[in-house]
């Protein structure tokens, strides 16, 4: 540390995260849920892989770094490095679960970067005024319990015990309560264990971009200004199951053909919005009874629409009504729709955005501001604390797939930027 005695400014800037250690932790965490066949990772909330990843993180925090950890009622994991003043903590983190056949960086990178920053602060004996906390949220990704951003939604009061207690897995009907208990939580306590405003000084989440914008601009980092709104409907199309040979075409009420027509109408509408900030997807679809020689009687699908523009979102829902009505008439089917997610777009905190800009200037790292088209736990933290997000480049913009990758050089830049942001926030915040 000889070179670091001239002034506080240089002193702070020269603190560096430990790249090798971080890289090893990324490799170690990627083992849990690794699918040898696909090369992807299957680590949904409640799975064996999730439980093993939790054990790994707890051991890393408690044994390796030597800080105290806490599991809250919904099984979010917290690790705290105490500060020298009695102030609410600065929290860094993300989630450690993955989508089916997902990658090694979505969520995991944010948790391990936060961990690395904390470990760097601790081993350099940097004394912060605020406690520095790492969080790994439970079930951020869609999971068999049908609740994404489960952990942050619950502590922010958007999911209550009354709802959670009734939730079961669509795979084996096992209860969410049992899964949460296995992970170390307790659904009975979620109401008591909610976040209170002021309980946290700031929340900062680092995450891979999962899009091509940074990659196409060849930038390592981006500062998030907004998180997109996400709207999801579960749509059930009911026609009539009948024999595939003896039912003439004109007599059919084919639920799958109706779903196909519905899907293309929906896609057509989304495309003509012609904006990078408007996307729509039908990612999940099931056919009943799903036999080769039976005209499908029912189709259940999940439709999703994303935009950060409220007006566009309102118009979209009116459009969906029109499409549903039209398909019902044309195809002699009944369409039931249920809104299963309606998450408004949110703005990141102005001060956090400024602090991130200062950090990047300090590191002489160019960056860009952008809207996050993916939902994140950060979206649920905005009501309780100053919240911000830092994006790291995704190679080829790929994510939620085995090819998901972020360059280690960019990861190091993100880690040091996060460290600088913590040091500045620690001074600025009270």
Binding-site residue numbers are 95, 106, 141, 207, 232, 293, 306, 400
Q: How far is 281 from 374, CA to CA, in rounded Å?
A: 13
Q: How far is 93 from 115, CA to CA, in rounded Å?
A: 8
3-class secondary-structure state, position 96? coil
CB of 85 to a second copy, least distance (A): 39
The full DSSP string for 174-199 is -BHHHHHHHHT--GGGTTTT---TTS
**Site membership for a second copy, residue 83 (CB under 8 A):** no
In the set 249, 311, 364, 430, which binds a second copy (CB under 8 A)? 249
* Among the residue ranges 72-80, 187-195, 293-301, 313-321, the one whose residues contact a second copy (CB under 8 A): 293-301
Q: Which residues are annotated as a binding site for Zn(2+)?
A: 95, 106, 141, 207, 400
Question: Could you say which residues in the range 384-403 bind a second copy, by CB under 8 A?
Answer: 394, 397-401
Q: What are phi and psi of 55, to 5 degrees?
A: -60, -45
**Site membership for a second copy, residue 264 (CB under 8 A):** yes
CB of 208 to a second copy, least distance (A): 9
- Any idea which residue has 């001074």 for tokens? 427
**Site membership for a second copy, residue 185 (CB under 8 A):** no
Q: How far is 200 from 218, CA to CA, in rounded Å?
A: 34
In the set 41, 256, 320, 348, which binds a second copy (CB under 8 A)? 256
Q: Which residues pair with 347 in a beta bridge?
A: 226
In the set 54, 130, 153, 232, which binds a second copy (CB under 8 A)? 232
- Any idea which residue has 């996400």 for tokens? 230
**Site membership for a second copy, residue 338 (CB under 8 A):** no
**Site membership for a second copy, residue 72 (CB under 8 A):** no
Q: How do beta strands 229-238 and 68-71 pair?
A: unpaired
CB of 87 to a second copy, least distance (A): 35
With contact defined as beta carbons under 8 Å apart, do 237 and 333 qualify?
yes
Cα 178 to chain centroid, rounded: 23
Binding site for a second copy (CB under 8 A): 99-101, 141-142, 148, 209-212, 228, 230, 232, 240-249, 251, 254, 256-257, 259-261, 263-264, 267, 270-271, 276, 279-287, 289-297, 302, 304, 306, 372-375, 394, 397-401
């Amino acid at each position: 540390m000889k070179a670091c005695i001239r002034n506080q400014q240089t002193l702070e800037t020269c603190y560096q995260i430990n790249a090798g250690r971080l890289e090893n932790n990324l490799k170690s965490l990627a083992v849990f849920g690794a699918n040898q066949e696909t090369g992807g990772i299957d680590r949904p909330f409640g799975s064996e892989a999730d439980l093993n990843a939790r054990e790994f993180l707890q051991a890393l925090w408690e044994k390796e770094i030597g800080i105290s950890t806490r599991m809250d009622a919904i099984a979010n994991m917290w690790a705290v490095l105490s500060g020298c003043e009695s102030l609410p903590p600065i929290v860094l983190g993300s989630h450690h679960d993955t989508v089916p056949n997902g990658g090694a960086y979505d969520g995991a990178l944010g948790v391990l970067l936060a961990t690395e920053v904390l470990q760097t602060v601790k081993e350099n004996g940097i004394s912060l005024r605020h406690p520095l906390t790492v969080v790994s949220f439970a079930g951020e990704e869609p999971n068999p319990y049908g609740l994404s951003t489960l952990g942050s939604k619950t502590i922010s009061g958007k999911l209550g015990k009354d709802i959670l207690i009734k939730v079961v897995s669509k795979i084996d009907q096992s209860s969410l309560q049992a899964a949460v208990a296995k992970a170390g939580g307790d659904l009975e306590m979620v109401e008591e264990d909610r976040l209170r405003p002021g309980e946290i000084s700031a929340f900062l989440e680092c995450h891979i971009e999962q899009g091509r914008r940074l990659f196409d601009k060849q930038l390592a980092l981006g500062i998030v200004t907004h998180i997109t709104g996400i709207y999801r409907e579960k749509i059930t199309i009911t026609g009539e199951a009948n024999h595939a040979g003896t039912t003439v075409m004109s007599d059919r009420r084919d639920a799958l053909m109706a779903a196909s027509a519905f899907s293309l109408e929906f896609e057509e509408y989304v495309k003509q919005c012609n904006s990078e900030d408007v996307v729509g997807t039908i990612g999940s679809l099931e056919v009943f009874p799903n036999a080769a020689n039976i005209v499908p009687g029912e189709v259940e699908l999940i439709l999703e629409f994303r935009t950060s523009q409220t007006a566009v979102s309102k118009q979209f829902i009116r459009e969906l009504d029109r499409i549903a009505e039209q398909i019902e008439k044309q195809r002699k089917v009944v369409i039931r729709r249920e809104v299963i997610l309606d998450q408004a777009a949110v703005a990141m905190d102005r001060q956090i955005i400024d602090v991130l800009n200062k950090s990047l200037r300090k590191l002489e790292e160019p960056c860009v501001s952008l809207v996050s088209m993916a939902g994140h736990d950060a979206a649920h933290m905005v009501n309780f604390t100053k919240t911000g997000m830092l994006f790291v480049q995704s190679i080829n913009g790929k994510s939620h797939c085995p090819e998901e990758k972020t360059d280690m050089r960019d990861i190091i830049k993100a880690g040091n930027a996060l460290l600088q942001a913590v040091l500045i926030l620690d001074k600025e915040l009270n």
